[in-house]
Amino acid sequence: MYKPLPESLTIKTSGINGLGVFADQEIKQGTNLGITHIKIDDKIIRTPLGGFINHSNTPNCTKVELHANGKEPFRKKWSLVTLQDIKKGEEITLRYTFYNV
């Protein structure tokens, strides 16, 4: 069965804005939660994970650029990595760099 989010995450109503991504369990600092964005030519595409992450000036996660090899159809991709331990029920946040807030 296809699951757009890792088992440790869920989407629910956010106090920041609309819907957000929340931890369903404790998540350790340095955990790679998955790919959030892919850049093809000049277009940035959000994955299901990237589509629901809300902005924070004090984020608990960061985007890490992954380098694609020459055989992949995209130019760049980014993964979401935790900057600190995340508690169950805590919203996953990111400092937006691709969009104006």
Range of the domain at 53: 27-94
State the amino acid at position 48 in one-letter form. Answer: P
The total domain count for the chain is: 1
User: Using CA atoms in the order 41, 52, 22, 33, what is the torsion angle rounded to 10 degrees?
Assistant: -10
- 87, part of any domain: yes
- 100, part of any domain: no
User: Can you read off the two tokens belonging to residue 73?
Assistant: 């159809």
Task: Note the pLDDT tens digit of each residue in 41-81.
Answer: 778 889 989 999 999 999 999 999 887 666 665 678 899 99
Question: Strand pairing partners for 42?
Answer: none
Task: Note the pLDDT tens digit of each residue in 25-40.
Answer: 999 999 999 999 888 8
